[in-house]
Amino acid sequence: EDRDPYRDELVALAPTASLEDLDAALDAAVEAFPRVSRLPSYERQAILQRAAELVRDRKADLARTIARETGKALKDSLAEVERSVDTLQISGEEAKRIQGFHVPLNGVPMGEGKVAVMLRFPVGVVAAITPFNAPFNLMCHKVGPAFAAGNTVVLKPPHQCPLIGMQIGEVLQEAGFPAGALNIVYGAGDVGERLITDPRVDFVTFTGSNRAGEAIKARSGLKRVALELGGDGPTIVHGDADVRTAAITCSRNAFRLAGQSCISVQRVYVQEAVVDQFLDEVLAFVPTLIVGDPLDPRTDIGTLVDQGAASRVESWVREAEAQGAKVLCGGTRQGAQMVPTVVTNVTPRMRIVCEEVFGPVVAVVPYRDLTDAVRQVNDSRYGLQCGVYSRSLEVAFRAIREIRAGGIIINGTSTWRIDQMPYGGVKQSGIGREGPRYAIEEMTEQRLVVFNL
């Protein structure tokens, strides 16, 4: 049952795949792999380019589906579809850039008269499991690179978004995906469990929660995996920064998408000398954000994915209050919609600080000096991305050296991402990298070839 979280209306009824359906999908992917892997790269590129053009043509309809299924504001849903066009185009372009390299052997006597090259080949069948928070673009980030590399895919879309999963299948079929190249299954835990453990699957790519990612890692055996997991969105605002710009950008990126991004700004560390100014700017900006109907083009912040998610976030804020935190604004919800929430006087072990909130909540924490800020940022099991605001190159490069994260954004927030860049984390934020070029590297295997001449 697919429901609109803002109106609590039924959007669609979607079938759940049986284990027999999953078997058929895996058989189709295995059978299609020899044909797909032999497609020349220019044909794979042309198919992905056609898919990008179809997505562009259907942008309005796709965005409306995303907004209805997830509660994401229409303006952000449109932006997601536009990014999906980029993701598919870039994946196609990268299909023509897959290359190997020469391996010098004549540095030792045994290598004399021999020439070696390292080549890349597709891994085979890719199992792709995607989340609800950017449903269309994240499916493109799995399927686009997998097909560009010559693999076949069994895709399990998020159960909250069955229509958008169906629509990506329609687009890719119309674009020219060969039969069996993409196979879509819907289902809950038993389907996902069978998918990741099935010996016909050669590679698992997953975006979602840490708990699910850890289970996949534990259950997938010796399969290669790419896991894009959680984060807690740290951003540092040093005393020499443009405080107003930092405050507005941090606020916008804490609350857009209703905070439902693994790189949403969640922890902001502000140097003591400017923390009052920073908070004044934040509290002046937050009321300008429009919280409302996701389908209204004026809305900045829609709903969380469902009432259960909103209730959990609200309970974490209440819990922090009971432990001594001060809520400067927000902290309440109506149904699945929660208003932007700014919290101070927090401690490191409060869940709104040390866990991934996945909601429109930001904690502002003062720090003494950069050593103190870096220590607090690194005091986390996550390490996805971190923002650093400072006019000093010395501060910037020290942060780059000392902060443990997959990406450091200088004079920007943890939230900044474009689709061609390498994206992924360290520590418990995941394994591997996304971005079409880097996902293709994950989804291919190297093969050494030695010529005796």
Catalytic (active-site) positions = 228, 262
H/E segment holding residue 184: strand 182-184
The DSSP bridge partners found for residue 364 are: 268
Q: Which of 406, 409, 410, 411 is nearest to 422 (CA)?
A: 406
The DSSP bridge partners found for residue 205 are: 128, 226
Coil, strand or helix at 167: helix
Pairing of strands 182-184, 152-156: parallel
Residues whose CB falls within 8 Å of the CB of residue 72, separated by 6 or more in sequence, listed in order: 66, 80, 133, 257, 258, 260, 294, 302
Q: Which amino acid is at 394?
A: E
CA distance 45 to 127: 21
Burial of 162 (0-12, 13-18, 19+ CB in 10 A): buried
CA distance 268 to 278: 10
Q: Do 294 and 302 meet the contact criterion of CB atoms below 8 Å apart? A: yes
**Residue for token pair 């590129």:** 45
**Nearest 5°: phi and psi at 99?**
-145, 160
Region of 113 (left: φ > 0; alpha: ψ -120 to 50; beta: rest) is left
**Residue for token pair 């001060």:** 326
Tokens of residue 182, six digits: 């993409």
The DSSP bridge partners found for residue 89 are: none
CA distance 82 to 437: 19
Q: Do 105 and 116 meet the contact criterion of CB atoms below 8 Å apart? A: yes
**Residue for token pair 């912040």:** 301
Q: Which amino acid is at 375?
A: R
Coil, strand or helix at 246: helix
